[in-house]
Amino acid sequence: MIKMIRVDYRLLHGQVAVSWTSMLGADCLLLVSDTLKNDPLRMQSLQLAKPVGTKVVVKDLDGSIQALQGNITDKYHLFIICETIDLAAKVAKAAGVKSINLGNVPFAEGKKRISKSVYVDEDEESQLKELLNEGFDLYIQMVPTEKKINCRNVLN
Amino acid sequence: MQNIIIATHGDMAQGIKHTAEFIMGKQERLHALPAYTAECLDFKEKLCAMIEEFSKDGEVIILTDLFGGSVNTDAMSFLGSHENVFLIAGVNLPLVIQLLVSDGGTGVKGVIRSSIEEAREGIVFCNDLIDGADAPGSGGFDDF
pLDDT in tens, A6-24: 999 999 987 777 789 989 9
pLDDT of res. B103: 73
- H/E segment holding residue A113: strand A112-115
Burial A50-85 (b: 16+ CB within 10 A, else e): beeebbbbbbebebbbebbeeeebeebebbbbbbbb
- Answer whether B104 touches A (CB < 8 Å): no
pLDDT of res. B131: 65
pLDDT of res. B18: 96
Residue A76: C-alpha distances to residues A4, A26, A48, A79, A88 (Å): 12, 8, 22, 9, 19
Q: Which of B130, B138, B141 lies nearest to residue A56, judging by beta carbons?
A: B141
Strands of B30-35's sheet, edge to edge? Answer: B30-35, B3-9, B60-64, B85-89
pLDDT of res. A156: 74
Query: Which residue numbers in chain B have pLDDT < 50?
Result: 137-138
pLDDT of res. B12: 97
pLDDT of res. A126: 96
The pLDDT tens digits for A108-136 are 999 999 998 999 999 999 999 999 999 99
Compare A141 and B138 and report the one with higher pLDDT: A141
For an interface test with B, the pick among A19, A54, A65, A80 (most B C-beta atoms closer than 10 Å) comes out as A19
Angle in degrees, 0-180, between the axes of helices A85-95 and A61-69, rounded to the nearest 10? 20
Chain A residues touching residue B25 (CB < 8 angstroms):
19, 142-146
Q: Is the ipTM of this complex over 0.85?
A: no
CATH of B3-131, one of 3.40.50.510, 3.40.50.2000, 3.50.50.60, 3.90.226.10: 3.40.50.510
Long-range contacts of A151-154 (CB under 8 A, 24+ apart): A151/A102, A151/A114, A154/A114, A154/A115
- The answer on pLDDT for A49 being more than 90 is no
Chain B residues touching residue A56 (CB < 8 angstroms):
141-142
Q: What's the CATH number where A96 sits? A: 3.40.35.10
pLDDT of res. A84: 97
Residue B43: C-alpha distances to residues A56, B37, B47, B64, B85 (Å): 45, 9, 6, 13, 17
Report the C-alpha gap between B132 and A131 in whole angstroms: 46
A57 and B140 in contact by Cβ < 8 A?
A: no
Report the C-alpha gap between A121 and A135 in whole angstroms: 21
Chain B residues touching residue A27 (CB < 8 angstroms):
none
pLDDT of res. B139: 59
Domain boundaries, chain B: 3-131
pLDDT of res. A19: 85
pLDDT band at A38 (very low <50, low <70, confident <90, very high): confident
User: CB neighbours of A42 closer than 8 A, spacing ≥ 6?
Assistant: A36
User: CB neighbours of A136 closer than 8 A, spacing ≥ 6?
Assistant: A92, A98, A99, A100
Q: Residue range A44-58: average pLDDT?
A: 85
The number of domains in chain A is 1
pLDDT of res. B108: 93
- The answer on pLDDT for A81 being more than 70 is yes
- Answer whether B80 touches A (CB < 8 Å): no
pLDDT band at A42 (very low <50, low <70, confident <90, very high): confident
